[in-house]
């Protein structure tokens, strides 16, 4: 178990640093108030997690540890949006349209509300 935690943690570290560098580079290249850097990272993360899961489904192409390093670790550190998209794709593939809609709506709405209230709390105290 400790080995898996180290594998995921290392991937997450690399993914987080990669997210920071890629997002910052793009945002500094394109002068705009629109968050192009974050958008780029989120879409790239979705592409990568799709590729990594697709590769892992092809059989013995990668070990379970490598899959965890790349998906949970790297992509999780790079952007949790990629995990959100991957989970939604799984719900759609399984025909769980209600859960897909519910998960998407709740994630977006509750995520925005939690961010708003978290920010509000810092102004109260």
> What's the CA gap between 58 and 104, in Å, rounded?
28
**Encoded tokens for 101:** 């809609």
Does 48 have pLDDT greater than 80? yes
Residue keyed to tokens 């509750």: 110
Write down the pLDDT at residue 117: 87
pLDDT in tens, 90-100: 999 999 999 99
**In-domain check, residue 114:** no
Structural domain boundaries enclosing 10: 2-80
pLDDT in tens, 18-28: 999 999 999 89
**In-domain check, residue 13:** yes
**In-domain check, residue 95:** no
**In-domain check, residue 6:** yes
Based on the structure, what is the number of domains in the chain? 1
How far are the Cα atoms of 18, 102, 103, 109 from residue 45, in angstroms, in the given order? 11, 22, 19, 22
Say what the pTM is: 0.77
**Encoded tokens for 113:** 């509300």
**In-domain check, residue 63:** yes
């Amino acid at each position: 178990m400790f080995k898996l935690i180290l594998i995921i943690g290392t991937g997450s570290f690399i993914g987080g640093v990669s997210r920071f560098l890629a997002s910052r580079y793009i945002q500094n290249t394109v002068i705009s108030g629109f968050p192009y850097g974050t958008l780029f990272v989120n879409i790239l993360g979705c592409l990568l997690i799709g590729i990594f899961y697709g590769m892992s489904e092809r059989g013995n192409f990668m070990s379970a540890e490598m899959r965890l390093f790349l998906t949970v670790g790297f992509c999780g550190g790079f952007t949790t949006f990629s995990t959100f998209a991957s989970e939604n794709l799984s719900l759609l593939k399984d025909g769980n349209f209600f859960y897909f809609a519910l998960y998407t709506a709740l994630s977006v709405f509750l995520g925005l509300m939690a961010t708003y209230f978290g920010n509000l709390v810092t102004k109260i105290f």
